[in-house]
């Protein structure tokens, strides 16, 4: 696709900046590596063989393209817009995370790296990373907050089955941000042989751009599938946002389609009025963390505050820098839904469509349930169903007061 | 001449001592360091996410924040230090977010008023200098850059450009407080930097004992000790000053006499 000069799709600039956001705020030890990674990524982008291997693995190993599904009973229940899902929960490993991991491990191998590290929150990125490491025979260390290790036990076991070493991180609040700190500490001490597979569209440049591009397969497929199935583009795209990679993957190929509106859904936890939420855009302010300038949950002195969400995958006090830019540019709207609303969305999808979603996209479902009834019946809402809920049934059972 | 350049000219090689602000009795700890022979003070600004630091300094950051330390407190420690020690260079060291939270100009102004001579920001590399560097230079505060084993010849000019005060050579590719680098690699790196800059080169990361400090002092302009001092603050709390004095005295003797031993 051609991108015109005034495109929303030509970010970041050559220094990795999305407007005032993004960049490369890393320690000097990592800077040469980050520059090297960018060079290698550019070379890979220009190499048809790299793209061909990526496409082949996505088709035959991941199971792409993922289906585009019209949800008739949910549409009927909501009584407004037609609701469609991009079924990325049907991917191998059960979420969109694997798309990015395939891309990054191919890059790691291309760079001659022999050891893989990653951070994980809900465990989906950890599982996806452990999976590609098993597939390519590389040793794998996953950093996971001790709190998340406890609330995502099934995924911890999956990672171990796949041969990964899972290291619980006990510093700070022992969640995703602390796991990322520990990942960066590992990387800085093992720069010669280690590739850090970052799981979301955040971190130092080129990660936000690279992860977005690997995930853009979601939006490219959805765009083509929509045109072929209904002959037009959707009116509204909806996706949940922690770091924001599934949302960018869906949104980015549509950014220059002026008639397509977009809504990113953050985790409001117990509500935006207190501090028990993980809505960096709606409840945060710009700052610098984990290699990029972006919206953060922080206090007046710039100390990072602990986010809260029922979903371990959204429980991060920052957000990908491109979302920060898309918010300020006005191209994408952002909203937030609470833990309770997400739980209702979770059950709504189970009941109406026979699909158990992950708690992350359950937030997006809650937003669909609010928005769809306000739209005409001939309008189309397309939501990224970015993960399945097997991993979350214990959390949900506990919240619903059910003993398993 | 600045306090930093004067110090490195007179006390050569120099002992640079790091502690985290707000971890114990900061004023008493700082006085102990200076009275025992520290030539330059690095005062750590606590941060919730010290991602380049090992367990010792991570814990110090958490202790300090747990005790309620604010940016205003850090600046007050600096102001009071300057009043008590008019000639000892004081450098603030920390992470970008607390430094830029109220804007780089605000921070540079506040640091200048507090009598701060230099600032080391771990996660602002030369590529992002705009985020803080111009504001510091406008107030006469030295932006002190880090150089590392991964800083190659091609990259060195960019690191040196806009640096002032001294160059902090992080001798180990890793986090603070861990293993020590091989001396030969330090000597080679310092020689490489010396060929490109007149700035003093201070070497740190993993320096814990007077013997290690002396060995580095023979090849560098300064030796930075952090984690070993911070561990004392953690272990002894209110009783840290006496222990800090003990270790700093031994380190200072070792550093200040290192080159005399060569001469003999």
Give residue limits of the domains in chain B. 3-263
Nearest to B146 among A28, A181, A291 (CB): A28
Dihedral class, residue B142 (left if φ above 0, else alpha if ψ from -120 to 50, else beta): beta
- Say whether residue A177 is in contact with chain B using an 8 A CB cutoff: yes
Question: Nearest CA of chain A to the CA of B180: how many Å?
Answer: 12
Q: What is the mean pLDDT of residues B198-225?
A: 95
Cα A309 from Cα B44, distance rounded (Å): 32
Confidence of residue B1 (pLDDT cuts 50, 70, 90): confident
Helix (H) or strand (E) holding A214: helix A207-215
Distance CA B37, CA B250 (A): 9
pLDDT number for residue A249: 98
* Domain B3-263 homologous superfamily, CATH: Aldolase class I (3.20.20.70)
pLDDT at A88: 98
Interface mutation target, options B56, B152, B173, B189, chain A, most CBs of A under 10 Å: B173
Contact, A194 vs A222, CB < 8 A?
no
Please give the residue that has the higher pLDDT: either A255 or B185: A255
Which of B71, B128, B173 lies at the smallest CB-CB distance from A301? B71
Q: How confident is the model at residue B261 (pLDDT cuts 50, 70, 90)?
A: low
Preceding peptide of B165 cis, ω within 30°: no
Residue A4: the pLDDT is 60
Instruction: Inform me whether the C-beta atom of residue A31 falls under 8 Å from chain B C-beta atoms.
Output: yes
- Look at residue A3 in the predicted model and tell me its pLDDT: 55
What tokens does A383 get?
A: 């939501």
CA B115 to chain centre: 16
Percent of chain B with pLDDT over 90: 87
Q: Give the contacts of B97 (CB within 8 A, at least 6 positions apart).
A: A287, A288, A289, A296, A298, A302, A303, A304, B47
Closest CB from B49, B124, B150 relative to A29: B150
Q: What angle do CA A238, A239, A240 make, to 5 degrees?
A: 135
Nearest to B44 by CA among B67, B25, B23, B13: B23
Exposure class string for A327-343: b at 16+ Cβ within 10 A, else e: beeeebebbbbbbebbb
Q: What is the dihedral sign for C-alpha A12, A16, A19, A22?
A: positive
A244: closest CA of chain B, how far (Å) = 21
Taking the Cβ of residue A142 and every Cβ of chain B, the question of whether any pair is shorter than 8 Å is answered with: no
Q: What is the pLDDT of residue A292?
A: 98
Spans in chain A with pLDDT lower than 50: 1
- pLDDT tens digits, residue range B82-114? 999 999 999 999 999 999 999 999 999 999 999
Contacts of A29 in chain B (CB under 8 A): 52, 146, 148-150, 170, 173-174
Q: What is the pLDDT of residue B260?
A: 83
Residue/partner pairs of A56-64 with CB below 8 Å, 24 or more apart:
A57/A102, A57/A106, A58/A99, A58/A102, A58/A217, A61/A92, A61/A102, A61/A135, A62/A91, A62/A92, A62/A98, A62/A99, A62/A102, A63/A90, A63/A91, A63/A92, A64/A91, A64/A99, A64/A217, A64/A221
Among A23, A28, A177, beta carbon nearest to B49: A177
How far apart are alpha carbons A127 and A93 in whole angstroms?
A: 7
Burial of A91 (0-12, 13-18, 19+ CB in 10 A): buried
Query: Does the distance separating the beta carbons of B125 and A302 come in below 8 Å?
Result: no
Angle separating helix axes A124-136 and A97-110, nearest 10 degrees: 40
A189 interaction partners in chain B (CB closer than 8 Å): 173-175, 178
Mean pLDDT confidence for B223-251: 97
Under a CB-based contact definition with an 8 Å cutoff, are residues A241 and A316 in contact? no
Question: Given B97, B150, B170, which is nearest A289 (Cβ)?
Answer: B97
Neighbours of A174 (CB within 10 A): 19
- Residue contacts between A and B (CB atoms, under 8 Å): 116
CB contact under 8 A, A191 and B96: no
- Min Cα–Cα distance to chain B from A154, Å: 28
For strands A380-384 and A333-338, give the pairing.
unpaired
**Closest CA of chain B from A108, distance in Å:** 19
What DSSP string runs through B59-107?
Answer: HHHHHHHHTT--HHHHHHHHHHHHHH-TTS-EEEEE-HHHHHTT-HHHH
Cβ pair B97:A23 closer than 8 A: no
- By DSSP bridging, strand A17-18 and strand A21-25 are antiparallel
**Catalytic residue numbers of B, as ranges:** 42, 53
Q: Which residues, in sequence order, are bridge partners of residue B166?
A: none
Handedness of CA A381, A384, A390, A396 (dihedral sign): negative
- C-alpha–C-alpha distance, residues A66 and A213, integer Å: 17
* C-beta of residue A401 within 8 angstroms of C-beta of residue A263: no
Tokens matching residue B169: 């050579």
List the single residue in A with minimal CA-CA distance to B172: A189
How far is it, in rounded angstroms, from Cα A99 to Cα A105? 10
Q: What is the mean pLDDT of chain B?
A: 95
Is the pLDDT assigned to residue B262 strictly greater than 70?
Answer: no
Instruction: List phi, psi (to 5°) of B54.
Output: -80, 180
Q: What is the pLDDT of residue A78?
A: 98
pLDDT for position B263 = 55
Tell me which of A117, A303, A304, A306 to substitute to probe the interface with B (most B C-beta atoms closer than 10 Å): A303
Other CB atoms within 10 Å distance of the CB of residue B249: 17
DSSP letter assigned to residue A305: P
Which residues in B lie closer than 8 A to residue A179 (C-beta atoms)?
Answer: none
Report how far residue B108's alpha carbon sits from residue A361's, in angstroms, rounded to the nearest whole number: 44
Nearest to B155 among A24, A32, A298 (CB): A32
Answer yes or no: do A28 and B147 touch at CB < 8 A.
yes
ipTM over 0.90: yes
| pLDDT computed for residue B172 by the predictor | 86
Measured between CA atoms, how close is B145 to chain A, in angstroms? 9
Which residues in chain B have their CB less than 8 angstroms from residue A24's CB?
A: 125, 127-128
Q: What is the pTM of this model?
A: 0.96
Q: Is A202 on the interface with B (CB under 8 A)?
A: no
Are B133 and B143 contacting, i.e. CB atoms less than 8 angstroms apart? yes
Question: Nearest C-alpha of chain A: how many angstroms from B35?
Answer: 31
Q: What is the pLDDT of residue A1?
A: 47
For the segment B12-49, what is each residue's pLDDT rounded down to a tens digit?
Answer: 899 999 999 999 999 999 999 999 999 999 999 999 99
């Amino acid at each position: 696709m051609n991108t015109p000069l005034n495109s929303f799709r030509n970010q970041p600039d050559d220094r990795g900046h999305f407007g005032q956001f993004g960049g490369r705020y890393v320690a000097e030890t990592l800077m040469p590596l980050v520059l090297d990674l960018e060079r290698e990524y550019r070379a890979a982008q220009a190499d048809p063989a790299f793209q061909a291997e990526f496409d082949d693995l996505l088709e035959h190993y991941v199971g792409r393209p993922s289906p585009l599904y019209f949800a008739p009973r949910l549409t009927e229940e909501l009584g407004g817009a037609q609701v469609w899902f991009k079924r990325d929960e049907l991917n191998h490993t059960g979420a969109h995370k694997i798309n990015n991991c395939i891309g990054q491990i191919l890059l790691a191998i291309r760079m001659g790296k022999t050891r893989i590290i990653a951070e994980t929150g809900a465990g989906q990125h950890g599982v996806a990373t452990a999976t590609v490491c098993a597939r390519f025979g590389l040793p794998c260390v996953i950093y996971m907050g001790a709190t998340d290790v406890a609330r995502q036990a099934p995924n911890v076991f999956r990672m171990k089955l796949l041969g990964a070493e899972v290291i619980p991180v006990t510093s700070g609040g022992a969640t995703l941000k602390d796991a990322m700190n520990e990942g960066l500490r590992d990387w800085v001490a093992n720069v010669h042989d280690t590739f850090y597979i970052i799981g979301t569209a955040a971190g130092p440049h080129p990660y936000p751009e690279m992860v977005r591009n690997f995930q853009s397969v979601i939006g490219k497929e959805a765009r083509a599938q929509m045109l072929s199935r209904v002959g037009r583009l959707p009116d509204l795209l909806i996706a949940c946002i922690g770091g924001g990679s599934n949302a960018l993957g869906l949104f980015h190929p549509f950014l220059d389609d002026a008639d397509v509106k977009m809504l990113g859904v953050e985790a409001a936890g117990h509500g935006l009025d207190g501090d028990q939420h993980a809505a960096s855009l709606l409840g945060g302010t710009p700052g610098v963390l984990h290699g990029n300038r972006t919206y953060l949950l922080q206090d007046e002195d710039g100390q990072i505050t602990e986010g809260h969400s029922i979903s371990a995958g959204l429980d991060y006090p920052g957000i990908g820098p491109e979302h920060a830019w898309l918010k300020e540019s006005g191209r994408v709207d952002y909203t937030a839904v609470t833990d309770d609303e997400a739980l209702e969305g979770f059950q709504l999808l189970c009941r109406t469509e026979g699909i158990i979603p992950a708690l992350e996209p359950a937030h997006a479902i809650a937003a669909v349930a609010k928005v769809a009834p306000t739209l005409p019946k001939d309008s189309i809402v397309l939501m990224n169903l970015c993960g399945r809920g097997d991993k979350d049934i214990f959390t949900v059972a506990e919240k619903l007061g059910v003993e398993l | 001449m600045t306090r930093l350049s004067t110090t490195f000219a007179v006390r050569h090689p120099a002992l640079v001592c790091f502690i985290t602000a707000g971890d114990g009795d900061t004023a008493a700890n700082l006085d102990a360091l200076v009275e025992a022979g520290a030539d330059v003070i690095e005062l750590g600004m606590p941060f919730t996410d010290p991602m380049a630091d090992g367990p010792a300094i991570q814990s110090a950051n958490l202790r300090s924040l747990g005790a309620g330390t604010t940016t205003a407190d850090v600046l007050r420690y600096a102001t009071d230090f300057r009043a008590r020690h008019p000639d000892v260079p004081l450098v603030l060291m920390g992470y970008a977010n607390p430094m830029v939270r109220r804007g780089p100009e605000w921070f540079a102004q506040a640091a200048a008023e507090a009598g701060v001579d230099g600032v080391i920001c771990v996660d602002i590399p030369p590529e992002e200098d705009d985020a803080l560097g111009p504001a510091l230079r406008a107030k006469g505060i030295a932006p002190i850059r880090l150089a590392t084993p991964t800083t190659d010849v091609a990259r060195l000019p960019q690191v040196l450009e806009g640096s002032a005060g001294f160059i902090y050579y992080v001798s180990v590719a890793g986090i603070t407080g861990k293993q020590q680098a091989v001396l030969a690699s330090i000597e080679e790196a310092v020689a490489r930097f010396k060929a490109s800059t007149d700035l003093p080169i201070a070497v740190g990361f993993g320096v814990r004992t007077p013997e290690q400090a002396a060995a580095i002092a023979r090849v560098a302009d300064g030796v930075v000790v952090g984690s070993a001092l911070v561990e004392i603050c953690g272990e002894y709390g209110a009783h840290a000053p006496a222990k800090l004095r003990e270790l700093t005295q031994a380190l200072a003797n070792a550093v200040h006499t290192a080159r005399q031993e060569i001469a003999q």
